[in-house]
Amino acid sequence: MLLKAVLLVAFFALMVIVGFLCRRSASDVSGFVLGGRKAGSWLTAFAYGTSYFSAVIFVGYAGQFGWKYGLASTWVGLGNAFIGSLLAWVILGRRTRLITQQLDSSTMPEFFGKRFGSGALKTAASVIVFIFLVPYTASLYNGLSRLFAMAFDIDYTWCVLLMAVLTGAYVLLGGYMATAVNDFIQGIIMIFGIILVVGAVLRDNGGFMNAIVTLSKVEGESGVGMNGPFVSFFGPQPMYLLGVVLLTSLGTWGLPQMVGKFYAIKNESAIAKGTVISTAFAFLVAGGCYFLGGFGRLYSDSIEYTASGTPVFDSIIPSMLSTLPDIVIGVVVILVMSASMSTLSSLVITSSSTLTLDIIAPLAGTIRSGRGAKHPARTGASSGMAEKTKLVWLRLLVVFFIVISAAIAIVQAKSSVTFIAQLMGISWGALAGAFLAPFLYGLYWKRTTAASVWVSFGSGILIMVGCMWAMFTGHVFISPYFTSPINAGFLAMLSGLVIVPVVSALTKAPDKPLVEDMFSCYDRLVVTHASVALSGEDE
C-alpha cells in the first residue's frame, strides 16, 4: 500500500510542477488554447495519442470488446494505429494546420463558421460540442473507480474529486502547453505500463502459448457455430467488429479535441516525425490494450455479473489485474490515471475554448455593438472581448466543465445508468457523425456548401438520438445491428460522407473568390530538398 501511494503522490506532484513551469506559455489566448502553435513533433504526437486513449479504452472498450471478440479485438487497436493515427496525420495534419492558420481559427466550430461564411454554423457546432463532450468527459472517470477500489479500497467519489482537482490545477496554470508536456510524460508511462501489464497477465496464465490454448477451449455464444471462436482471425462476429474498428478509428477524424492537435503543430518537420511517433504510440498502447482484453474470458470466474447473468464489462480488466504483484498494480493505476487525465485535460480545453471563443466572445461583441461600441476589428479587441477577459472566461469554463463532468460521473456511478463504452459511444458517434464529413470535405473540396454541413449536423445527431431512444426504451433502431451506439455511430459517419457531396452538388456553390482565397494557403511555393520532392527536370 505504501509503495502504491508513493508512486501516486510522485505522479501527482510532477503533473502540478509541469503546470507551474508552463504558466508563462498561457499568458494569452493563443498560448492557452494552442500553445502559440509551437508544439513540436514529440509533444504533438503524444498529445494526440494520449487524448485518443483513456480509461474508457483500457477499462471499458478493452474489457467489453475483448470479451465479445477475443483476440480478434486486437484489430481495433491496429485500426486505431493505422486509420485513426497514421492516415489521420497524413490526410488531415498538414492541410488542417495551413487552412486554420489562414482562417485564424482556433476551434473546429470557428473553422466551420469561417470556412462556410456562417455564424449560425459556428454556433450550432459549438452547441453540439458542448452537449456531447460532457458525457464523454464524465465517462473518463468511471474506469478509475474499479482500479482505485482494487488497489486502495477508496470510494469512487474521492477518486473523481482527486482526478478533477489535479487535472484542473495544471490546465489552469499552463493551458495547452502544460497539457502537452504532461501528455508526453503520461504517454511514456502508458507505453511502459501496457508492456508490463501484458507481460504480467500472460505470465499469470502460464505464458503466451498456454494462454492461447486455454482460450481456444472456451466455447462461444449459441449460434456462432465455430470452435475456438475467441482465438479466430476475425472473431465470432466480424461485422460487429468492423463497426467498432471504423468508429474508434475513422471517428477520430471528426472529434474536435483530436483535430485540434493539428492546429498547434510547429512546422513541416513536426508533421513528418509526429506521424511516425503517433502511429507507433497507438500501435503499442491501443494494440496492447485490446490484445490484453482478448484474454478476458480466462477470468470468467472472477468478474462481476448483472442479475440477468450479463458480464459487467467494466469489471473485466480490474479482475485480470487483481492477482498481479503490488508494484504492477501501482503502475497500472498510474497508467490509467495518466490516460484519463490527459484525455480529460484535452476535452476541457476544447470545451472551454469552444464556448468562450465561439459563443461568449461573439455575443459580447454583439452586445457592445448594440450599445454603440466601435467595430471590434477597428478597436483591436477580437470579437468584442479583450484578451485578458477571454483568458478569465477560458479558465472559469475549464473549472465549470471539470465540475459538471465530475458531478455527472458521480451521479451516473451511484445510479448505474450505463456502461463506459455506451457513454463514450454515444458522444463519439454524435460528434464524428456530425463533423467528420464536412470537416474532411471542407479541407479538400472547394464546392462544399454550408447547406451540406447543416444536413450532416442534423443527420449525425438524429441517428445518435434515435439510438439513445432505442437503448432506453428497448425498441429496435432501424435494425438490431444499429441499436448498438457503436454501429449507430458508424452509420452516422458513413451517412455524412454520402450526404455532404450530394447536397453540395444540389445547392448553390459558395462564393468562388472567397473560397479561392481560403485555399490559396495550399498553393504557396515552398522550397525543399530533393530528398523530399523531385525537381521535375526531364530525364
* Selection from 143-147, 149-153, 455-459 with the highest mean pLDDT: 455-459
Q: Concatenated DSSP letters for 358-380?
A: IIIHHHHHHHHHHTTPPPHHHHT
Mind listing the pLDDT tens digit for each residue in 26-38? 777 777 877 766 7
Question: With pLDDT > 70 as the criterion, what percentage of the chain qualifies?
Answer: 86
Q: Are 36 and 190 in contact (CB under 8 A)?
A: no
pLDDT at 181 over 90: no
Amino acid at 535: S
Q: Are 251 and 436 in contact (CB under 8 A)?
A: yes
d(CA 91, CA 69): 30
Q: Rounded mean pLDDT of 223-244?
A: 82
Least Cα distance to 440 among 270, 242, 262 occurs for 262
Q: Per the domain annotation, does 533 fall within a domain?
A: no
Per the document, the length of the chain is 539
d(CA 117, CA 113): 5
- Which is higher by pLDDT, 253 or 347? 253
pLDDT at 380 over 50: no
Mind listing the pLDDT tens digit for each residue in 348-365? 888 888 888 888 877 776
Cβ-based neighbour number of residue 9 at 10 Å: 10
Q: What is the pLDDT of residue 498?
A: 96
Q: Which residues neighbour 345 within 8 Å (Cβ) at sequence distance 6 or greater?
A: 167, 170, 171, 179, 182, 183
pLDDT at 508 over 70: yes
Q: What is the pLDDT of residue 382?
A: 44
pLDDT at 423 over 60: yes
Q: Which residues neighbour 251 within 8 Å (Cβ) at sequence distance 6 or greater?
A: 84, 428, 429, 431, 432, 436, 489, 493
Q: Per the domain annotation, does 535 fall within a domain?
A: no
Q: Per the domain annotation, does 436 fall within a domain?
A: yes
Q: Per the domain annotation, does 294 fall within a domain?
A: yes
- Which is higher by pLDDT, 314 or 72? 72
d(CA 511, CA 298): 61
Amino acid at 31: G
Q: Which residues neighbour 470 within 8 Å (Cβ) at sequence distance 6 or greater?
A: 476, 477, 483
Q: Give the CATH number for residue 185.
A: 1.20.1730.10
Q: 506 is written with which cell numbers?
A: 444540389
SS3 for 295-310 is CHHHHCCCCCECCCCC
Q: Rounded mean pLDDT of 112-116?
A: 93
Where residue 534 falls among pLDDT bands split at 50, 70, 90? low
DSSP-derived 3-state class of residue 62: helix
Where residue 347 falls among pLDDT bands split at 50, 70, 90? confident
d(CA 441, CA 500): 8
pLDDT at 291 over 90: yes
Q: What is the pLDDT of residue 379?
A: 34
d(CA 346, CA 357): 16
CA–CA distances in Å: residue 141 to residues 176, 304, 349: 21, 19, 17
Q: What is the pLDDT of residue 381?
A: 39
* Selection from 168-177, 206-215, 478-487, 495-504 with the highest mean pLDDT: 495-504
Q: Rounded mean pLDDT of 266-280?
A: 85
Where residue 1 falls among pLDDT bands split at 50, 70, 90? low
d(CA 420, CA 65): 12
Q: Are 170 and 179 in contact (CB under 8 A)?
A: yes
CA–CA distances in Å: residue 39 to residues 22, 36, 128: 13, 8, 27
Q: How many domains does the chain have?
A: 1
- Which of the residue ranges 226-230, 290-294, 457-461 would you say has the lowest mean pLDDT? 226-230
- Which of the residue ranges 252-261, 375-384, 426-435, 494-503 would you say has the lowest mean pLDDT? 375-384
Where residue 75 falls among pLDDT bands split at 50, 70, 90? very high
- Which of the residue ranges 38-47, 138-147, 298-307, 382-391 would you say has the lowest mean pLDDT? 138-147
**φ/ψ of residue 5, rounded to 5:** -65, -40
* Selection from 95-109, 262-276, 341-355, 462-476 with the highest mean pLDDT: 95-109
Least Cα distance to 254 among 495, 417, 478, 477 occurs for 495
Q: 287 is written with which cell numbers?
A: 494494440
d(CA 151, CA 155): 11
- Which of the residue ranges 1-10, 388-397, 500-509 would you say has the lowest mean pLDDT? 1-10
Q: Per the domain annotation, does 528 fall within a domain?
A: no
Amino acid at 444: Y
Amino acid at 13: A
Q: What is the pLDDT of residue 114?
A: 92
Q: Which residue range is the domain that position 514 belongs to?
A: 2-522
Q: Are 234 and 72 in contact (CB under 8 A)?
A: yes
Q: Rounded mean pLDDT of 493-503?
A: 95
- Which is higher by pLDDT, 257 or 159? 257
Q: Per the domain annotation, does 530 fall within a domain?
A: no
Q: Rounded mean pLDDT of 128-153?
A: 72
Average pLDDT across the chain, whole number = 82
Q: Per the domain annotation, does 534 fall within a domain?
A: no
Where residue 378 falls among pLDDT bands split at 50, 70, 90? very low
